[in-house]
Amino acid sequence: MDSMPDEIVDRAIVEHRRPPGRLDADRMWIAEDPTTDCSGVGTVEREAVGNLVAAVVEYERSESDRDPLLKLPGKTVSRPSPYTNTSSMFDRLQSLF
């Protein structure tokens, strides 16, 4: 199934959050797709949503048994589903920086 970018944007859940336990950290924009469980991160909302669209398109064009993707500014990594992994998305983000 190949979603159109507008469909991905329409179903995206976008939040402006600070990583848990990091009061000194800047807030980041997180865009999540409830259909594929992929996510995009950015310093501005538009960047996070654009990264989400890129992650979902790459995910849908790949093998169906692959982990959801997390697209950060400049790189894409596998994002194990929260249903199969107990670490939070912010834990994974912090490990990449």
* 50-71 pLDDT per residue, tens: 999 999 999 998 876 788 999 9
H helix runs in 5-44, sequence order: 5-11
Better-scored residue on pLDDT, 47 or 1: 47
Q: Is 43 helix (H, G, I), strand (E, B) or coil?
A: coil
The pLDDT value given to residue 80: 60
Question: Are the beta carbons of 69 and 55 closer than 8 angstroms?
Answer: yes
The pLDDT value given to residue 52: 96
Kindly give, in sequence order, each residue whose CB lies less than 8 Å from that of residue 3, ignoring residues fewer than 6 positions away: 35, 56, 57, 60
The pLDDT value given to residue 13: 95
What letter represents residue 59's amino acid?
Y
